[in-house]
Structure 1
Amino acid sequence: MSESKASVTWQENKAFMGISPSGHNVQIDADKEKGASPMELILLGLGGCASYDVVSILQKSRQEVTDVRCELTAQRAETVPAVYTDIHMHFIVKGQDIKESQVERAIKLSAEKYCSASRMLVQGGVNVTHDFEVIAG
């Protein structure tokens, strides 16, 4: 088991500065004036984790990918704690001669095997779904 260390320091009002385990600064703001909210960062973490996997798997499958975007739509519980209950991930994959079967495979492998963020959310009871479209170009 590996250990990660991060820190979060209060700046003012509802704004905080996070320092990631790799030393990067991340502005966090519950009011969303100076940075993303903590819950928004969870969505971005999921999207970043899954998108990395999808790009990596497609490249290893010799797919000529030129762009990947993951659009996330989430619903939260009405009561506190207002956890995410459902997250839908829509992948838009652009490239030359991209095989839909390879995109479907990459998303499935990410969701079921490689994306730690996805696995953690699913194990926590979040319903995470996926779909995709392929655009030539």
Structure 2
Amino acid sequence: MKARIKWVQDATFLGESGSGHAVVMDGPPDHGGRNLGVRPMEMLLLGMGGCTAFDVVSILRKSRQSVSDCVAEIEAERAASDPKIFTAIHVHFIVTGRQLSEKHVARAIQLSAEKYCSASIMLARSAEITHDYEIRGT
């Protein structure tokens, strides 16, 4: 896997992925940015959220669950001093579908957290990661 980060100006950077996609990252105005894109640490949370949500949907589909939507709402706490690493991350899943099995949803989240989501497993080395979920019917 490869990535390229190009400084644009001030605190603005363009990130280009090895798969050919681009994203703008920028800092807040008090750090010389113009608020034109997400912060780099926000990108880490987005990446983790995308990774685990992808896993949960995939596992539920393989379990023949009729899932129609999956939202991962993430809240994180960071250390007060440098390096301001994540110290706690909570993921709240909202899984929607027809006659979803609570057992299957719980197991999908557990499998993602413990076996499949590389981003979560990596971040869990420095942050306490917790999960909960709610199931909504269609």
2:66 aligns with 64
Counterpart check, 1:25 vs 2:25? no
2:6 aligns with 9
Distance 2:133 2:89 in 1: 14
1:46 aligns with 48
Q: Which consecutive residues of structure 1, in runs of 5 or more, have no partner in the other structure?
A: none
Partner AA of 2:133 in structure 1: F
Q: Which consecutive residues of structure 2, in runs of 5 or more, have no partner in the other structure?
A: 29-33
Segment drifting more, 50-59 vs 20-29: 20-29
State the shift of 1:122 in Å.
Answer: 1.1
1:86 aligns with 88
Segment drifting more, 31-40 vs 107-116: 31-40
Question: How far does the alpha carbon of each residue in 1:8-36 deviate from its partner, in whole angstroms, 9 at most, with x for none?
Answer: 00111111000011110011112271110
Please tell me the root mean square deviation across aligned C-alpha atoms, in Å. 0.9
TM-score (norm 2): 0.94
1:79 aligns to what SS in structure 2? Answer: coil
Distance 1:100 1:80 in 2: 40
Counterpart check, 1:106 vs 2:108? yes
Task: Give the aligned length.
Answer: 133
2:137 aligns with 136
Partner AA of 1:72 in structure 2: I
1:130 aligns to what SS in structure 2? Answer: strand
Distance 1:30 1:98 in 2: 41
Partner AA of 1:18 in structure 2: G
Counterpart check, 1:117 vs 2:135? no
Partner AA of 2:88 in structure 1: D
Identity of aligned residues (%): 50
Distance 1:121 1:82 in 2: 13
Question: How far does the alpha carbon of each residue in 1:69-113 deviate from its partner, in whole angstroms, 9 at most, with x for none?
Answer: 000000000101111000000000001000111000000000000
Distance 1:11 1:42 in 2: 20
Partner AA of 1:100 in structure 2: E
